[in-house]
Amino acid sequence: MPKRVLAAMSGGVDSAVAAARAAEAGHDVTGVHLALSKNPQTYRTGARGCCTVEDSRDARRAADVIGIPFYIWDMSERFHEEVVEDFYSEYAAGRTPNPCLRCNEKIKFQAVLDRAIALGFDAVVTGHYARKGDDGLLRRAIDPDKDQSYVLGVLTPVQLEHSMFPLGDTLKTDIRTEAEERDLAVARKPDSHDICFISNGDTSGFLKKKLGTSEGDIVDSTTGDVIGNHDGAHQFTIGQRHGLGLERPAADGKPRYVLSITPVENKVEVGPRDALRIGRIHTGVPVWLSARRSEPFRAEVQLRAHGAPVPATVTVTDDSLTAELDEPAYGVATGQTLVIYEPSDDGDAVLASGTIESTESLEGAGV
């Protein structure tokens, strides 16, 4: 049944083809580009992001070719408050956020969808690579290399109900071919990478400008010795190996990785890779995209946007999830997101997600 839909058009090939497919399917489509910065030059420039002047122009050209109305919505203040400031505060607290996931949660599928519904639209169309099954559940895309169900795992059932993902059943290579056939100028435009609001890709430098510098120690977990110093614990993340600035090698001669970050003491603890082996993960309040489970159940969990799923036993409480992993995961940081999948013949369905609050090593030591 045709719907009145709003197509979020970033200026890239995926969102352009998604909008074109929605229009071709008979839906009443209106394109909208989200202006995420008052001054786009302060965010990423060129053809790599989704916040630039070039991107808005590319989105408008695509809408003209498709033959749909097009508008630009200023979401810059909301984006800065919900995504950029959250990025700062999470790093300041020693956590590692995922800003793209937060943007999906707070901007594309909350602020935009709320406004769209208020204006009488039935759904929001995006170029994410994911599928909705006949049962309404969110499922992995056909293209495993482009699957984005992980970053959509934070959606609520209501948000998912009012979302459309036209690309989930197609390979990325075929999307580019289709874009050329539709005479869309973005057919060969490079995909966006890294964090869109960091203009030069220098995350450490970006954080330093906001959070400043503060000298602290880098401590070896095996000996307790200070083996280096830093000018801000917020510049590190769990599992980091390079750029530690160690003044001397560890006593055993092996590489060192960041094991923990203590903002209050401004201390960074490093140690051998084996110390990153995580066997148990605890989250905060879960978001359920399927029927809530009460008893422990078997599932697969994913810890990063393009990470391999890990079999696990999941235990549920009212305000948390605990995943007992069948095999160890490495470098899991608080602030990241745990997404739970149920494998099936129809494609892995997203059951729930939760922000990682703490982890435990295989030996049971908390991190």
How does pLDDT run across 101-146, given as a tens digit for each residue? 898 888 988 889 999 999 999 999 999 999 998 888 999 999 999 9
Backbone angles phi, psi at 102, to 5 degrees: -65, -35
Contact predicate 288/314, CB 8 Å: no
Q: Which fold has domain 276-361?
A: Elongation Factor Tu (Ef-tu); domain 3 (2.40.30)
Per-residue pLDDT for 175 more than 80? Answer: yes
Contact predicate 252/221, CB 8 Å: no
Strand runs labelled E in 120-180: 123-125, 130-132, 138-140, 163-164
CB atoms within 10 A of CB 212: 10
CA distance 129 to 110: 19
Q: Which fold has domain 4-188?
A: Rossmann fold (3.40.50)
Query: Residues 188, 101, 131, 169: what is their CA dihedral angle, to the nearest 10 degrees?
Result: 20
Alpha helices, H only, the chain: 13-24, 53-66, 76-79, 85-92, 99-103, 112-118, 157-161, 172-181, 203-211
Mean pLDDT of 332-347: 88
* Straight-line distance from the first to the last Cα atom of the chain, in angstroms, rounded to the nearest whole number: 50
Within the chain, which residue ranges are assigned CATH 3.40.50.620?
4-188
CA-wise closest residue to 34 among 183, 197, 193: 197
Whole-prediction pTM value?
Answer: 0.89
> How many Cα atoms within 13 Å fall on the side-chain side of residue 366?
4
CA distance 10 to 189: 12
Share of residues in the chain with pLDDT > 90 (%): 64
pLDDT score, position 210: 87
CA distance 86 to 98: 10
Classified as helix, coil or strand, 260 is strand
Please give the C-alpha separations between residue 66 and each of 76, 182, 259, 264, in angstroms, as whole numbers.
Answer: 26, 8, 50, 54
Which tokens hold the place of 253?
């001669």
Per-residue pLDDT for 41 more than 70? Answer: no
Per-residue pLDDT for 209 more than 50? Answer: yes
Q: Which fold has domain 213-271?
A: SH3 type barrels. (2.30.30)
Within the chain, which residue ranges are assigned CATH 2.40.30.10?
276-361
- Give 52-84 as a DSSP string: SHHHHHHHHHHHHHHT--EEEEE-HHHHIIIII
**pLDDT-based confidence at residue 296 (cuts at 50, 70, 90):** very high
Task: Summarize pLDDT for 257-276 with one digit per residue, the tens.
Answer: 999 999 989 999 999 999 99
CB atoms within 10 A of CB 134: 6
CA distance 185 to 335: 38
CA distance 95 to 45: 27
Within the chain, which residue ranges are assigned CATH 2.30.30?
213-271
Lowest mean pLDDT among 15-19, 194-198, 332-336, 362-366: 362-366
Q: If 0-12 CB within 10 Å is exposed, 13-18 middle and 19+ buried, where does residue 298 land?
A: exposed
Mean pLDDT of 212-216: 89
Tell me the catalytic residues.
103, 196
Distance from chain centroid for Cα 218? 29
CA distance 348 to 340: 10
